Structure formats: structure tokens, C-alpha cells
A and B are shown apart, each in its own frame.
Chain A
Amino acid sequence: NAGVTQTPKFQVLKTGQSMTLQCAQDMNHEYMSWYRQDPGMGLRLIHYSVGAGITDQGEVPNGYNVSRSTTEDFPLRLLSAAPSQTSVYFCASSYSGPGSTGELFFGEGSRLTVL
């Protein structure tokens, strides 16, 4: 069982470059989300999706775009990277049907450095 798969695990960008963090899950979860983790800040929600074709903003959405064309995939796009986007990014999914607690299943994280 692959669970939630994020790629790449490490990436170095220059200011102004664009890139996409990929996230895929094979658990047929409707709910998917992206968090960023910074020292002393915990995990902060960037964007989330409750199903294919539906996305919404979280606490810190500026500088990031998302789309959800399939249940499995939820890519995160940085259109013009800034040093403030240096962080560890986590993709997470959860089952949102009957009996769900909302427990999040996390990917392994992607460490992004913007120079």
C-alpha cells in the first residue's frame, strides 16, 4: 500500500522559478490538503480539496495554486518562488465518509529551499 506519495522529496529553486509539488494517494480519499511546516510554527494549511473539481484556501494560500482533476492527485504549484516559501511541505488525505474521524494520512514531506 503506497498511501500518500509526494514528489520530489528535495528541491532547490532560485527566486522567481516555478515548480509543482506532486501528491498522489491510492486510498480513494475524497479529502486532500497541503500543509507547510516551519520551525516553531507547527503545520499551517495552504489549500485543501473535498473532492475532484473542488478546492479552497487554507490559512496561508498566497503564492500557491492547486487543482484537483482526479480523486487521486492534488498538485501544489508555486508560480514564482520566493525565499519565504522555503519550508517542508506535507500533503495529507483523509476519508470523509461515515465513521470517519478525519484522521489525516500524510506523505513523507517535501523539503523546498528557495535561494
Chain B
Amino acid sequence: AQKITQTQPGMFVQEKEAVTLDCTYDTSDQSYGLFWYKQPSSGEMIFLIYQGSYDEQNATEGRYSLNFQKARKSANLVISASQLGDSAMYFCAMREGGIYQAGTALIFGKGTTLSVSS
């Protein structure tokens, strides 16, 4: 079964608008971590934001926030005030197991391409 599902292959938004990129996950672990990475057209992978399963507050990093709904197993990325430079592929990823569990791989979704227009 797919563990990370990103149902939006592509999203389009205008500058200064907010956009939500969807991510649902599947795990039986109580302790896990959720990540979002950005991949611009240049190809590098850029870490954006992290949410631990026991974190009570939604994670925020500047214009990025993670809307964590544990019961729904969703971890949507919200980008406020989109900029042209936000045009990229965005990947949701999950680490199963606790933060002290060495050697736990990240499992990635298939990604969502975000296009920001002026």
C-alpha cells in the first residue's frame, strides 16, 4: 500500500495567493515524522518543514506551514503569499519510528508540481 499519497500532480496559483498542497500518509506507528521538500527546476532537494507526530502545534517556517491533522492522517503544506520562485516540485515524505531510531528511511510521495504565475 502506498504510504505517502500526493493526489495533485499539478497546481496553479497566482502570485501573492495562498496555496495548499495535499499529503496523506499511512502508518501504524505512533511515533513518526513528516517532511516537505522542494525541488526547483535546477534539481536540488531543499528541506522546507518538519512535523513530529507528537508535536501539538502545527509547524511553521516563514511562509510555509504544515497543516497536521493526525486523525485524518494528513500533512498538507500551506504556502502563504506565493512567489514566482515557489514554482517547483514539492515532495511530502515520512519517517516511521521515533526520532532516536537510527537508520529509518524517508518514504516519499510522487510529488506535486506547483506553478506560480504573475
Q: Is the CB of B43 within 8 A of A102?
A: no
CB contact under 8 A between A96 and B103, given known A43-B91, A106-B44: yes
Tell me the bound Cα distance from A36 to B66 in angstroms: 26
Q: How far is the CB of A27 from chain B (nearest CB, A)?
A: 14
Question: Which of A33, A41, A105 contacts B105 (CB under 8 A)?
Answer: A33
Count contacts between A and B, CB distance < 8 Å.
68
Q: Tell me the count of chain A residues lying within 8 A, CB to CB, of chain B.
A: 32
Q: Is the CB of A102 within 8 A of B99?
A: yes
Residues of A within 8 A of B104 (CB): 102
Chain A residues within CB distance 8 Å of chain B:
30-31, 33, 35, 40-45, 48-51, 56, 58, 88, 90, 92, 96-106, 108-109
Chain B residues within CB distance 8 Å of chain A:
4, 9, 33, 35, 43-45, 47, 50, 52, 91, 93, 95, 99-111
